[in-house]
């Protein structure tokens, strides 16, 4: 067993680890004709079962190695049995033949049995010590594997454990916030959220590259939302998107929070405006601008949404369109707080 790689790179010397047991199996098969069939059968099972696994280069852990390990265990058992039989035979031969006054007449010594019994006990003790050492090492590696995290996230590095953790948190948090007998859900994760993390090592490899497809842990674990529909019958449809559109106007919007929890944004223009304002404050200017562009088309009469769109245009280097949107906010509107904010924006963007 090898520890989890730190950098996620393939180890070109990993095949050497399998050469030592293979050599031991070959020697045991040659020196023990009585156990040769069992050892060769176990080796064939082990090696042939590895063939379908070899193309799985992106997998870090051996969930798929259970079948090959059965053949490996069978070959190990045959080898240990051959070793025990050899030690017992040597002990019996050394203690069971002696000489009397007649040099040509062998006899069975009275103390023939104790050496053979001692050899069997020694073999058993050695096997138990080896098994305990292997179990201790396995337990240590399993604890390391279970405790490793995916970068700075609370998600487990182990994909199987990660799926269980994410599914439990996401399903529980979302279903607790459903407030309609039938609802459609859109989970909006704007581009640029999060960091690029190696799934092999769990280390952060940098910010999310622009223009590249993102691996959304929650969306992948939930099967694009199928798991949510399975556990919550009130949900009619679930979709994960990185760009919001007016087609989702009547959907209840959620976003992904920390540790796989789902945070409800809502359906109303006010709820969308609050989330868009948070995006602007956090520095996600371009995603916020694109989001607000879609919101203006979905809610053309909402003045706060249009004001935020004007602010996003101004912050992304488009003062002309920002002024045009701000003028639409002011036109025909009462002198309220939103109008005052639009007037200040017009003053700042004036040539």
195 located within any domain: yes
State the pLDDT at residue 262.
92
Whether residues 188 and 257 fall in one domain: yes
Domain that holds residue 329: 283-351
226 and 314 both lie in a single domain: no
- Do residues 20 and 132 both lie within one domain? yes
SS3 labels along the chain:
CCCCCCCCCCCCCCCHHHHHHHHHHHHHHHHCHHHHHHHHHHHHHHHHHHHHHCCCCCCCCCHHHHHHHHHHHHHHHHHHHHHHHHHHHHHHHHHHCECCCCCCCCECCCCCHHHHHHHHHHHHHHHHHHHHHHHHHHHHHHHHHHHCECCCCCCECCHHHHHHHHHHHHHHHHHCCCCCCCEEEEEECCCCCCEEECCCCCCEEEECCCCCCCCCHHHHHCHHHHHHHHHCCCEEEEEEECCCCHHHCCCEEEEECHHHCEEEEECCHHHHHHHHHHHHHCCCHHHHHHHHHHHHHHCCCCHHHHHHHHHHHHHCCCHHHHHHHHHHHHCCCCCCHHHHHHHHHHHHCCC
- Write the CATH number for 294: 1.25.40
Last residue of a domain, one of 130, 147, 164: 147
Shared domain check, 75 and 165: no
Residue 277 within a domain: no
Would 102 be classed as within a structural domain? yes
- pLDDT at site 188: 95
74 in a structural domain: yes
Last residue of a domain, one of 104, 132, 147: 147
190 shares its domain with 92: no
Do 301 and 251 lie in a common domain? no
For position 56, what pLDDT does the model report? 67
314 in the same domain as 236: no
Is 6 a domain residue?
no
Same domain, 143 and 168: no
| Domain identity same for 137 and 21 | yes
Q: What is the pLDDT of residue 3?
A: 46
- Give the domain-ending residue among 126, 147, 168: 147
Do 141 and 52 have their domain in common? yes
Instruction: Let me know if residue 3 belongs to a domain.
Output: no
Q: Within a domain: residue 338? A: yes
278 is a domain residue: no
pLDDT computed for residue 200 by the predictor: 57
Q: Are residues 185 and 249 in the same domain?
A: yes
329 in the same domain as 235:
no
pLDDT of residue 259: 74
Give the chain's domain count.
3
Q: What is the mean pLDDT of each run of 10 residues along the chain (351 residues)?
A: 46 75 89 88 90 68 71 87 72 53 50 61 77 85 81 75 84 91 93 66 60 71 85 91 94 88 94 95 94 96 95 94 93 89 89 63
pLDDT of residue 115: 63
């Amino acid at each position: 067993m090898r520890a989890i790689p730190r950098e996620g790179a393939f180890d070109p010397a990993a095949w050497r680890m399998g050469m030592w047991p293979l050599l031991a199996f070959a020697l045991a098969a040659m020196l023990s004709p009585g156990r040769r069939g069992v050892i060769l059968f176990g080796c064939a099972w082990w090696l042939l079962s590895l063939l379908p696994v070899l193309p799985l280069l992106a997998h870090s852990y051996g969930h798929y190695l259970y079948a090959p390990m059965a053949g490996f265990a069978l070959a190990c058992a045959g080898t240990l049995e051959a070793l025990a039989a050899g030690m017992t035979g040597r002990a019996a031969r050394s203690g069971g033949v002696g000489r009397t006054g007649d040099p040509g007449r062998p006899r069975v010594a009275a103390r023939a049995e104790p050496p053979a019994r001692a050899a069997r006990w020694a073999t058993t003790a050695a096997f138990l010590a080896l098994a305990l050492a292997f179990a201790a090492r396995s337990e240590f590696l399993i604890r390391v594997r279970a405790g490793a995290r995916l970068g700075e996230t609370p998600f487990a590095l182990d994909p199987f454990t990660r799926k269980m953790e994410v599914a439990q948190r996401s399903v529980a948090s979302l279903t607790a916030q459903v407030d309609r007998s039938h609802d459609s859900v859109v989970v909006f994760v704007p581009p640029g959220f999060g960091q690029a993390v190696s799934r092999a090592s769990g280390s952060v490899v940098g910010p999310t590259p622009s223009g590249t497809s993102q691996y959304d842990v929650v969306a992948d674990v939930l099967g694009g939302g199928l798991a949510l529909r399975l556990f919550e019958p009130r949900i009619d449809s679930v979709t994960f998107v990185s760009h919001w559109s007016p087609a989702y106007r009547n959907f209840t919007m959620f976003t992904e929070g920390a540790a796989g929890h789902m945070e409800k944004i809502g359906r109303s223009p006010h709820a969308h405006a609050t989330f868009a304002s948070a995006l602007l404050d956090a520095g996600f200017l371009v995603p916020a601008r694109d989001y607000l562009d879609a919101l203006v088309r979905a809610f053309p009469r909402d003045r706060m949404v249009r004001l935020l769109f004007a602010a996003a245009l101004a912050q992304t280097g488009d003062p002309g369109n920002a002024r045009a949107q701000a003028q639409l906010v002011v036109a025909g509107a009462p002198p309220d707080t939103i109008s005052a904010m639009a007037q200040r924006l017009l003053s700042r963007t004036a040539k």
